[in-house]
Amino acid sequence: MRFTEFPFDEEILQGIEKAKFDNCTPVQEETFKNVIEGRDILAQSQTGTGKTAAFLISIFHLLRGLNKENPRAVVVAPTRELADQIEKECLLLGSNLPWTVGSFYGGVGYAKQEKLLQEHVNIIIGTPGRLLDFDKSKKLSFKDTDILVIDEADRMFDMGFYPDLRRILSRMRPSSDRKTLLFSATLNSRVGNIAWEFMNQPAEIVIEPEQVTVDAIEQELYHVSTDEKMSLLLGLLQKNKPDTVIIFSNTKHQTMKLAKRLEINGYQTEYLMGDLPQRKRLKILESMKKGNLPVLVATDVAARGLHINDLDLVVNFDLPNDVENYVHRIGRTARAGKSGKAISLACEKYVYSLEGIEKYIGMKIPVSWATDELYIEDKSKGVKIELDRRSGNQRTNSRDGRRDRNSNSRRKPIAPPIKKQDRAIQSLVSEVAAGSDAVPAKKAQDKPNRKTKSRKKEYSKSKRPEVKVAPAAKSSPVATRRVQKPKPRKGTETLDQRLEYYKKKYGENFKAEEINFKDKRSTRSKKGQVKEKKTFLGKIANLFSKKK
């Protein structure tokens, strides 16, 4: 069906014409039919089927029917890139409409977004985390929502937003008081739970993925070794001569290295991944949409929600580990009914994903065999490209092995930890300093931290200093502290000290005769003879009698 066959306002049709849309896609046609009937929508639709335009035009039509001064629609998206893309398409389709539009996501400041909320923005497009932040700060009320759209629900659940989405829905008005449109690539159990609990008997729309991958996109598969992938990629780029191409890789480090190698071979290239700052990501996407950037190397962060009109070619430098990501990757081309091409390189590392991909899409990917002419000399071969793991910056090693001056890999020395006895000394110093000018030395009873053998050895070799406390003021807490005189070690006492001890214990009339059974003990020799051995106490008694 054509867009003009639906009862849309003239201003809505003008925006559709400006976007150069003519015929409806299947998901658009089914969505419009049910929205006009006043039903909620639960749609299973892959990327590239025109679902963004389907729910945006539906929002415009529903807002027209609301008799409110400040109607509000909320679109929840899983990523910042997708939210930004939806906002741009909304501004294009609704260029003749009176409603204000704003995007709300993390990675940027709050000031601009808070200003939009104060001005009662009509269409809010945002990620779950930032929307909940504004709700928590009372700057956004979900109860004001008249229309709710949940885009790519399955991906949102995979990213861990399922509890956040339920929290958002629970704070809105009942499902009978609002319209809800939910779009997902798969209708799993969690999507079903959301539909049953928070939607009002939605109409189910199912668009099979085979219609996207088989009918609209020309696919090719090359079997190649890992060492020859770069050479073959250069040959394929030279053969197809695409104006714009996205090359997908499985890892962040491979993405950065691949972009650098393409630059060495003369291609203007940028890379896109999740670690990049939001402003830089948006700048790269905008540059490619305008045609200023011919080659983009990306991870799966760009597989969904990236809308680039007239994208000529998609290359899977690595076959994806997740079979669904294959559909999302090649869905970047052949959008809005146009044709496109996707080339995949199957090396020995990732070829094991091929069987699952072909089973998922329900077809065998046509295999092409590379001739010798397709293998072009790689100018980056032999060039070692190192990456700063913390900042993601590229570094090439110089021949003399010196570190790049722009590298952020220099680390500051780590300060040694403060020992337990040092902390005790510091606290004692602070106490004494409060009431006295003298500082006591290290306490004899303080024990060091004996966690390692080396510390044990150091402690055993060190000598304990004598504790001396200078007279302190009356107000000082240290002034009342008594320093105990250290007791002599056993075996080093003088005879007088021992005699004094036993006199205190047994009285001044201490005599050797009073010591009976403790002064002697009997032992047997190897020959069986009984010997009497005097104990320590017995020896002291004898000495006492002699002294006396």
Identify the segments of the chain with pLDDT beneath 50. 210-212, 390-418, 420, 429, 432-446, 448, 450-453, 456-457, 459-465, 467-470, 472-481, 483, 485, 512-522, 534, 547-548
Instruction: Tell me the C-alpha distance between 244 and 289, whole Å.
Output: 9
User: Would you give the DSSP letter of residue 300?
Assistant: G
Measured at the CA of 518, the angle between CA 512 and CA 521, to 5 degrees, comes to: 115
Pairing of strands 101-104, 340-346: unpaired
Residues 107 and 279: their CA atoms lie apart, in Å, by 8
Cα–Cα distance for residue pair 428/445, rounded to 1 Å: 13
Give CA–CA dist 491/192, Å, rounded. Answer: 85
- Measured N-to-C along each axis, helices 128-136 and 111-118 cross at an angle, to the nearest 10 degrees, of 60
Query: Which DSSP helix (H) or strand (E) runs through 16?
Result: helix 10-18
The pTM (predicted TM-score) of the whole model is 0.54
Q: Which of 382, 392, 47, 395 is nearest to 251 (CA)?
A: 392
pLDDT at res. 327: 83
Domain ranges of the chain: 3-207, 211-380, 412-484, 495-547
Where is 315: in which H helix or E strand?
strand 313-316
In 178-335, where does DSSP find H-type helix?
Answer: 189-198, 210-213, 229-240, 252-264, 278-289, 323-330
* Dihedral angle computed from the Cα positions of residues 203, 206, 212 and 213, in that order, rounded to the nearest 10 degrees: 160
Q: Are 142 and 74 in contact (CB under 8 A)?
A: yes
Provide the pLDDT for residue 223.
94
pLDDT digits (tens, 9 = 90+) for 450-482: 444 455 445 444 444 454 444 544 444 444 445
Residue 450's contacts (CB-CB under 8 Å, 6 or more residues apart) are 456, 459
Alpha-carbon distance of 16 to 9, in angstroms, equals 11
Rounded CA gap, 207 and 518, in Å? Answer: 102
Those residues with Cβ within 8 angstroms of residue 243's Cβ, 6 or more apart along the chain or in another chain: 291, 294, 310, 312
- Provide the pLDDT for residue 163: 92
Q: Residue 318's pLDDT is what?
A: 94
pLDDT of residue 412: 40
Dihedral sign (CA 283, 289, 290, 291) = positive
Give the three-class secondary structure for 182.
strand
Judge whether 3-207 and 211-380 match in fold.
yes
- Of 329, 330, 342, the C-alpha closest to 302 is 329
pLDDT digits (tens, 9 = 90+) for 163-208: 999 999 999 999 999 999 999 888 888 888 899 999 999 999 988 6
Which of 170-204 are b and which e, b meaning 16 or more Cβ less than 10 Å from the residue's Cβ? eebeebeebbbbbbbbebeebbeebbeebbeebee
Rg of the chain taking only CA atoms, in angstroms: 41
Q: What is the assigned CATH class of domain 211-380?
A: alpha beta
Distance CA 258, CA 298 (A): 10
Strand order of the sheet with strand 147-150?
A: 101-104, 123-126, 73-76, 147-150, 179-184, 41-44, 203-206
Q: Can you identify the CATH homologous superfamily of domain 3-207?
A: P-loop containing nucleotide triphosphate hydrolases (3.40.50.300)
